[in-house]
Amino acid sequence: MNTKTLIDQLGRNITVPATPGRIISLVPSQTELLADLGLGDRVVGITKFCVHPENWRKSKTVVGGTKQFDFDAIRTLNPDLVIGNKEENYEEGIRELSKTYPVWMSDIVTLEDSLQMIAQIGSLTQTESKATEIVSLVRDSFSGLPKLPAIKTLYLIWRNPWMAAATGTFINEMITLSGLQNCLSDETRYPELTSEQIQTLEPELILLSSEPYPFKEKHVLELTQLCPQAKILLVDGEMFSWYGSRLLKFAQYLQTVKTILS
């Protein structure tokens, strides 16, 4: 069998078949990318959180969640390529899979990281032409990105406790590229916050993500009482945190947000 060796975004050498034919994706945004690369007949396994494309939930084998793999299901599928992500998957599980299968890992913090990932997955799967097209379209769309006002913004991802996206995250990259000012610029990753700390931050805009925590209108009311000075919006978390081909939809979504804020 012909093979090739590539370096993943963790700097590891990964040897895979020249044309992988039994691919498992452990990351929702990368699953959607594989679909948009035209790999529907070669992807055999996805996680329970891989909701796009919707029909794949019925046609592919679900191999557990992003943080808890079903090793028996994976063993049955006998993949020749597993695609994961440093942040979204768990180190112990990835280490165990790597003993048996080629596991290619992404590590995404910036837009450039995501574009590199798209190109490299194209190379991994012999879909370079389509991957190059997606990268070009994303670059074009971001070059004309609508700019939101440079106001102090808090992006919340969790409740009980409150958790927010700070620097060193892809969400922060998207916030910054949109023109907003992350009011957690002195923090890293996903800090926990008390209600009092949120008040002290005095955000002008609070964005409540639809994932991983499903914020609702009741949380808008709760935060309105905490921060009456702030504009509070429920936003599509996929648009701010998915780093695959969904990036193609970000500019249009941002225009909608800009209209709401105007």
pLDDT, tens digit (0-9, with 9 covering 90-100), for 4-42: 999 999 999 999 999 999 999 999 999 999 999 999 999
30 and 96 inside one domain = yes
Amino acid at 74: I
DSSP class per residue in 95-143: HHHHTTS-EEEE--SSHHHHHHHHHHHHHHTT-HHHHHHHHHHHHHHHH
**Closest alpha carbon to 216 in 224, 208, 225, 207:** 208
Q: Are residues 123 and 37 in the same domain?
A: yes
Single residue among 141, 174, 207 that ends a domain in this structure: 141
Residue 179 lies in a domain: yes
Provide the mean pLDDT of the chain: 96
Are 35 and 165 part of one and the same domain?
no
173 and 88 in a common domain: no
- Quick one: 160 and 92 in the same domain? no
At 164, is the pLDDT very low, low, confident or very high (cuts 50, 70, 90)?
very high
Whether 246 contacts 238, CB under 8 Å: yes
Q: Specify whether 206 is located in the same domain as 241.
A: yes
**158 and 124: one domain?**
no
Give pLDDT, residue 262: 84
Boundary residue ending a domain (141, 167, 187): 141
Q: Is residue 147 part of a domain?
A: no
**CATH number for the domain that contains residue 25:** 3.40.50.1980
Q: Which residue has the higher pLDDT, 111 or 58?
A: 111
Residues 167 and 218 occupy one common structural domain: yes
- Residue 91 located in a structural domain: yes
Q: Helix, strand, or coil here: 152?
A: strand
Residue 35 lies in a domain: yes
Q: Give the pTM.
A: 0.95
Percent of the chain past pLDDT 70, that is, above it, reads 100
Residue 19 and residue 137 in one domain: yes
Residue 259 makes CB contacts below 8 A (sequence gap 6+) with none
In a 10 Å sphere around its CB, with 0-12 CB exposed, 13-18 middle and 19+ buried, how is residue 102 labelled? buried
Report CA-CA distances (Å) from 125 to 91, 93, 138, 190.
24, 23, 20, 33
Residue 40, domain extent: 3-141
Within a domain: residue 146?
A: no
Number of domains forming the structure of the chain: 2
- Say yes or no: 76 and 117 in one domain: yes
Kindly state the tokens that stand for 32: 């959607």
The percent of residues in the chain predicted with pLDDT above 90, rounded, is: 97
Both 126 and 71 in one domain: the answer is yes
Q: Which of 80, 107, 141 is the last residue of a domain?
A: 141
Say if 100 falls within a structural domain. Answer: yes
Structure tokens at 188: 């890293």
Asked if residue 80 is part of any domain, the answer here is yes
pLDDT surpasses 80 at 1: no
Is 246 part of a structural domain of the chain? Answer: yes
